[in-house]
Amino acid sequence: MNEKIVTKGICNKCKQIVSIRAAKSHITKCLNQDIEDSFDAFLIKVQWPHKNPIYWLYLSVPFKSKLEDLDLFLREIWLECCSHLSQFIINHKRYSSNFEPNSFFRFEEFSMAIRSEKVLVPGLKFTHEYDFGSTTELLLEVVGLMKTVANKEISVIIQNQEPEFKCISCGKKAKMISSTEGDCFCASCVKEEDDDELFLLPLVNSPRTGVCGYTG
């Protein structure tokens, strides 16, 4: 997969296309975020990979939402393939999807059943890992506070547009990705390849595309 690709995002409200750099100021204007005393949510940037984010989101995460709600949200939009374990690492503490109070771990371990307002503050960077075998790691950052729009659930404000990967054989728009090689193929070139070796999966707009059995 070509990791030099840079994607822009689309604003859910106004459908404007914005860069990741311009996203926060767009949100402030587009969602009239200037009433400081009514903030009830975190504005969280989620991205993968760390340096060159092809896949990125700006989320509204209400103060009352739990880490397990955010975990579920990330699974639904980007990650879930076969109910792997996951965790957040926040200030060197693990918030685990399978928290067991008596287990012994290298890091301090906690439950995800904790409200986000108990652990998050503006400026905080933290990580989320899904699947401890073929791990998909996400970097999250609390980039500000906001007033929730419309509903009180976690919601996407801006999401990256689908990146265009080219077929490794002919250069046309790819539709499939090899889960063994990471190479991308268009529909016509795929027939000539040995599918049994490549373990092809549909190319989808997610950092987990081509990993394990992820099909979107």
**Shortest distance, CB of residue 78 to Zn ion, whole angstroms?**
13
Query: Closer to Zn ion at the Cβ: 50 or 172?
Result: 172
**Shortest distance, CB of residue 178 to Zn ion, whole angstroms?**
13
Query: Closer to Zn ion at the Cβ: 30 or 204?
Result: 30
Give the per-residue contact string, 97-136, with Zn ion (x = CB under 5 A; - = no).
Answer: ----------------------------------------
The secondary structure of the chain in percent helix, strand, coil, rounded to multiples of 5, reads 15, 30, 50
Q: Which of 122, 127, 170, 216 binds Zn ion (CB under 5 A)?
A: 170
Positions touching Zn ion (CB under 5 A) are 11, 13-14, 16, 30, 81-82, 167, 169-170, 172, 186, 189, 212
